[in-house]
Amino acid sequence: DAKTTQPPSMDCAEGRAANLPCNHSTISGNEYVYWYRQIHSQGPQYIIHGLKNNETNEMASLIITEDRKSSTLILPHATLRDTAVYYCIVRGKGANNLFFGTGTRLTVIP
C-alpha cells in the first residue's frame, strides 16, 4: 500500500472548517483513500473513503486531486468533540490491513 504524509498537528477554531491535508504521491490506480480518526482513549472511527471522485457524508467531505496524489478531509463546522488524531490511509483492493501512520492531531480551539 502507498505511503501517506500528513502534518503532525493542526489547530482549528470552533465553528470554522477544518481542512486536513494528506499526500499520497505513490498511490496506485486501484487504491482507495480512507480517513479514520481516534479520539483519546477510544477506538478508531471511520469517517469517509473515496477512489477518484470527491465524497461527502454526514461527517465530512473528501476532496481528491485529479492526479490522486493528494487529498483533503474537510470538517465543515468543527466542534470541540472533533479534537482527535486523524489518519489518512491508502488501501489497495484485497488488502486486509489498515496501516495507521502517525496521523494529524487536530485541536479545535474554543
Partner 1 sequence: DAGVIQSPRHEVTEMGQEVTLRCKPISGHNSLFWYRQTMMRGLELLIYFNNNVPIDDSGMPEDRFSAKMPNASFSTLKIQPSEPRDSAVYFCASSLMGAEDTQYFGPGTRLTVL
Here's the x/- map for partner 1, 1-30, by CB under 8 A: it reads as ------------------------------
Is the Cβ–Cβ distance between 76 and 12 less than 8 Å? Answer: no
CA dihedral 75, 7, 92, 34 (to 10 degrees): -10
Q: Which stretch binds partner 1 (CB under 8 A): 14-22, 44-52, 56-64, 65-73?
A: 44-52
Query: Which amino acid would we find at residue 19?
Result: N
Answer for which of 19, 101, 105, 107 binds partner 1 (CB under 8 A) is: 101
Coil vs helix vs strand at 53: coil
Residue 56 found at the interface with partner 1 (CB under 8 A):
no
CB of 10 to partner 1, least distance (A): 19
Q: What is the distance between the alpha carbons of residues 70 and 72, in angstroms, rounded to a whole number?
A: 7
Residues within the interface to partner 1 (CB under 8 A): 34, 42-46, 49, 93-98, 100-102
